[in-house]
Structure 1
């Protein structure tokens, strides 16, 4: 017979295994008025003071089937599931990307260096407008906790359509998560801005020498780099996770599909005719701001939309120092203005000095139309009271293609018989009862609670 010590060890190992399985397994679905919700955890992100994790995680958990995404939210949490302050771990960015992977090929999972040019891998990006880079469908940074991502009815982002998956492939999702641990940092904000001198970096992640005038940005804070910390700081390692919540509905003809477009203020199109998006840029400290009482640094770019469409959502992405972005139509009308929300305290979601949210735009359906080929202007404003490196000026919009002629579909009243709704409500009640019973059974058998809300 096993000794008490052996039994205790076995029990502890079993509990640990259950916790691991709970973190990487599919959560139970919550359903409310047809809206389905799942809460997931990413693979663990291991960090110590000053460390940088900037990895790609392939084949992450994501709802299956032909669906319409209604929102996608995320935040960094610790092993207890508690939100982690930006003052300890700065979420530079997270992006969710869709791709197609050849069936029957060895399953590539986490932390892989697959790249985007492999024969077994097809990146299925958004609708533009950059010719390279920024292919994500969803993504934010430090502002993720207080930025709305809800997509209003009757709109949705269509994914999982089997007719759009190349023959011999299957649809999957991946994350790129860039997190910087600033515990004990000599200059926490400098670490978040990826200043090269704080990282003691002179080459990029491929070993190529940096340009002499490159003083900070993504090329200096790649995966595995280390930002300078104070002397005597103990290197305490911990595991974090990106907790992400996906809401969706099953696809139907009543849903109006929207396309995802991302504009970048570093886009060179207006000068070169090519949408070459550099993604990041620097802000120089103003030498005239005191005299003029103006510390605003403005950068702009132009781009065109390839379709006629109605804007149903808009939001900007900026880094610390940002004071707002605006997307203008060719006639100067404001399509969407998005401003940062800065924290005022020390708690997670309200960190002083950090952008903890961005305001969003939800135009009345059909009220903001963009014409195909219309030249749009993106303007990004930052404070130049001090210099900033590696800042971004992105703008996300969701557009309903006007060529689909869906106005009738949007406004047509439902003709579903009343008795059908009675059956539907009865069916939902039964499903709810089964789900509750299943949860209780799982809690009793597995010894842990689901993280679904």
Structure 2
């Protein structure tokens, strides 16, 4: 056994302590530096049966080189009171980052360059940084320390441009409608759709556009209402010790074409956003046996450590699971259904989705690993405009204290 002097041991101990103090972080310290602010979208005007699906450019949002930690939202009325889903259904809201020339007016679309997430879909489909629907009040979005979504980095903003944010809010006023759930699924036979649609298209986003109208009960009269998307953002100034988290969105309707070109493998995605669930056979006596299973698979070119995951589905959903190539479950997200009448607990609606927060370093996706997304949905009756996408955050490295 080699002899080591006490002085050498002491020097080594001091060196280790200095290293740890300079590279590790304190969650409590981080949270002391987190800022929180509540914002309101522009006014959303609705009347019974009406649809608002507008895009609001250059909305209020934290500025500077920052780390986004969470984003929560809900519909509120003019007094700030939460609006229940059975009164106005929040189909979805999405938050999109973009760059625009400094001399552009606030509501102009001139010169916009979208800055999409790291996800898979074509063009700007599912390119948002945040986005949920009816489940928004009951779904966690906080990103674990010391990770964050890095935005506002001056080195990434083209000269002469500035970074801005837009919000798309899709809300359906279901007061007095004939078929409340049919309206929320955007079933075409309930809406005043005039454009030519495929005979096979029974319902979905094309049938509940901005200014659309869902059929009311005969003789129903109701007042107009002004609503707002209230959104709460948590963030902190970007620091060198933080680890950037990349956003990926995996759509179960995605069909992938893989071509082997001389320059390397080329992947062409085609995310269709929504799909139709056909009713199961009448021979099924137990509705619990009627489950539609939809899957899609493709390789993830650049992997990393999964730090957060959540699914998005509509009423009738059973759950989503993301699998690795070896069949391991990376994350399962299960819908929570309301049981009452109050906002956040509306009976029959998806009021939350369970989230995954893996232990740091415990779940790694390898470069080129083929992932599979499986969406399960009740098929006891027909469902239109069904969605099944998975939002997950990946870090290419771990914080220093995990190395």
Q: TM-score, normalised by structure 2?
A: 0.88
Deviation of residue 123 (structure 1)?
0.4
Aligned to 2:180: 188
SS at match of 2:137: helix
Partner Cα separation in structure 2 for residue 270 and residue 298 of structure 1 = 22
Aligned pair 1:348/2:343, yes or no?
yes
Residues matched between the structures, number: 365
SS at match of 2:73: strand
Partner Cα separation in structure 1 for residue 202 and residue 231 of structure 2 = 33
Matches within 5 A, 1:267-416: 267-269=254-256, 273-287=267-281, 288-290=283-285, 294-402=289-397, 406-407=398-399, 409-411=400-402
Partner Cα separation in structure 2 for residue 51 and residue 202 of structure 1 = 15
Aligned pair 1:142/2:141, yes or no?
no
Aligned to 1:228: 215
Would the alpha carbon gap of residues 336 and 104 (structure 1) be closer, same or farther in structure 2, given more than 3 Å must change? same
Aligned to 1:266: 253
Deviation of residue 342 (structure 1)?
0.2
* Preserved CA contact (<8 Å) 1:312 1:362: yes
Partner Cα separation in structure 2 for residue 149 and residue 293 of structure 1 = 30
Would the alpha carbon gap of residues 373 and 246 (structure 1) be closer, same or farther in structure 2, given more than 3 Å must change? same
Aligned to 1:131: 122
Alignment match of 2:224 (pick from 216, 237, 240):
237
Deviates more, 1:251-260 or 1:301-310: 301-310
Partner Cα separation in structure 2 for residue 271 and residue 46 of structure 1 = 45
Aligned to 1:13: none
Aligned to 1:33: 32
Alignment match of 1:217 (pick from 198, 204, 211):
204
Deviation of residue 249 (structure 1)?
1.1
Segments of structure 1 that go 5 or more residues without pairing to the other structure are 1-30, 204-208, 413-453
Deviation string 1:325-363 (CA, Å, 9 cap, x unpaired) is 000000000000000000000000000000000000000
Partner Cα separation in structure 2 for residue 293 and residue 102 of structure 1 = 54
Deviation of residue 92 (structure 1)?
0.2
Would the alpha carbon gap of residues 286 and 400 (structure 1) be closer, same or farther in structure 2, given more than 3 Å must change? same
RMSD: 1.6
Deviation of residue 275 (structure 1)?
1.1
Deviation of residue 401 (structure 1)?
1.2
Aligned to 1:54: 53
* Preserved CA contact (<8 Å) 1:256 1:410: no
SS at match of 1:143: helix
Partner Cα separation in structure 2 for residue 221 and residue 410 of structure 1 = 50
Deviation string 1:198-220 (CA, Å, 9 cap, x unpaired) is 003141xxxxx211211100000
Deviation of residue 271 (structure 1)?
7.8
Segments of structure 2 that go 5 or more residues without pairing to the other structure are 1-29, 260-266
Aligned to 1:451: none
* Preserved CA contact (<8 Å) 1:270 1:301: no
Q: TM-score, normalised by structure 1?
A: 0.78
Aligned to 1:175: 167
Aligned to 2:67: 68
More strand per residue? 2
* Preserved CA contact (<8 Å) 1:325 1:393: yes
Aligned to 1:14: none
Deviation string 1:277-318 (CA, Å, 9 cap, x unpaired) is 000001111014327961110001112222120000000000
Deviation of residue 410 (structure 1)?
3.8
Aligned pair 1:163/2:155, yes or no?
yes
* Preserved CA contact (<8 Å) 1:100 1:122: yes
* Preserved CA contact (<8 Å) 2:57 2:106: no
* Preserved CA contact (<8 Å) 1:68 1:248: yes
Partner Cα separation in structure 2 for residue 323 and residue 271 of structure 1 = 30
